[in-house]
Homo-oligomer: A and B are copies of this chain.
Amino acid sequence: MRRITLDDVASLAGVSPITVSRVLRKPGSVSEALRVRVNDAIENLGYVPNVAASRLASSRTHTIGVIVPTLYNVIFAEYLFALHEVLVTAGYQVIVVNSRYSEVEEENAIKALLGQRVEAVIIAGIHHTPLSRQLLKQAHLPVVETFELADEPIHLNIGMSQERAGQTATHHLITRGFQRIAFMTGNLDHRAQSRFDGYHAAMQAAGLKSLELITHRPRHSSVALGSELFAEMHSRGELPEAIFCTDDNLALGAMQECRKRGILVPNDISIIGFHDLEFAACAAPSLSSVATRRYETGVLAAKKVLAALDGSTSHLIEKIDMGFALVERESTAPE
């Protein structure tokens, strides 16, 4: 029950191993006759090339490593979809690893990817352990950090200012005349933290007090969590005039809970979410949000990697701000 190797195919086809290898990689360089014989042998034997051997011999892996913090969030599904689309089309394999929002796990992921000799790394986030940074730097391959704007990018950085986005959302609520504005988040990861910083800054700038009830909890943002958090807050007898949720899912959950409790949105309370997920526009009432560009970020990151990989545009430090956009809808509409 030995595994079938390229040599087996070669013997069966009556050619040298290298010819089989060529049929696999550049069929054009082999005569029609041999190509047919080899392909027949491959099919008969059910031969599947061993990529480990191929990678070792060629020292090319045609593989790009991608690190995301979670797979639970559609945000990353959209982003991965874009990366995939561009990279796979260009003949690369994509390895996705999730770091579960942990810098330590991210470091392990980086080691694993470098061990696989990926040809580039695309990583969501800009916060890494010192060793992670060092490994990425000395690996001499293109590295793209996404979703945030870094002070000191490793190489490429394609993101947006989470802080300014948070500020913008909060400012929107302030201009609506609200003073008691709460901030709601699930997992307080770096990006959520930055949005909170933006919230805080906006509140301060307006001479308002950030509310204590930063109803958060180490759990990924979901409709259910938004509902729970709102319920708890309301049960404590607190009801702010407006809430800025770090995520549309939380916002939707909060709105559902409002409905159950007979609280009208936006009449009794205004709610704004984040990311402008697909459902925000069709929610009832429709949900104000801050639109972010996950898909475009993915496409651009992938394209930049490809450029760095064949040209030698590589290893230049570059920072690209993808921006964001406030989307005003019914959930924060003036009465």
Given contacts A52-B55, A72-B81, contact A224 B281 (CB under 8 A): yes
Chain B positions within 8 Å of A96 at CB level: 96
Chain B positions within 8 Å of A253 at CB level: 279, 282
Of residues 109 through 163 on chain A, the ones whose CB sits less than 8 Å from some CB of chain B are 111-112, 114-117, 134-135, 138-140
Q: Are B52 and A278 in contact (CB under 8 A)?
A: no
A84 to B109, CA, bound (A): 13
Q: Are A46 and B278 in contact (CB under 8 A)?
A: no
Chain B positions within 8 Å of A139 at CB level: 48
Tell me the dominant secondary structure on chain A's binding face.
helix
A217-261 near B? 1/0 per residue, CB < 8 Å: 000001110011000000000000000000000001100110110
Instruction: Find the B residue at minimum CB distance from A59.
Output: B3
Given contacts A48-B114, A52-B55, A111-B48, contact A282 B228 (CB under 8 A): yes
Band of interface residues on A: 35 or more
Chain B positions within 8 Å of A223 at CB level: 278-279, 282-283
Query: Any chain B CB within 8 A of the CB of A56?
Result: yes
Q: Are A256 and B228 in contact (CB under 8 A)?
A: no
Q: Are A116 and B278 in contact (CB under 8 A)?
A: no
A63-84 near B? 1/0 per residue, CB < 8 Å: 0000000011010011011001
Query: Any chain B CB within 8 A of the CB of A284?
Result: yes
Chain B positions within 8 Å of A228 at CB level: 282
Chain B positions within 8 Å of A71 at CB level: 71, 77, 80-81
Which 5 A-B pairs rank lowest in CB-CB distance, beginning with the nearest? A223-B279, A227-B282, A52-B55, A259-B284, A224-B278
Q: Given contacts A48-B114, A50-B56, A84-B98, could you give 6 more A-B pairs where the C-beta distance is less than 8 Å?
A: A3-B59, A48-B115, A95-B95, A223-B279, A223-B283, A260-B284
* A/B interface sample: 21 pairs, CB < 8 A: A1-B140, A3-B59, A3-B117, A48-B115, A51-B52, A51-B116, A51-B117, A52-B52, A52-B117, A71-B81, A72-B77, A72-B78, A84-B98, A96-B96, A223-B278, A223-B282, A227-B282, A253-B279, A256-B282, A256-B284, A260-B284
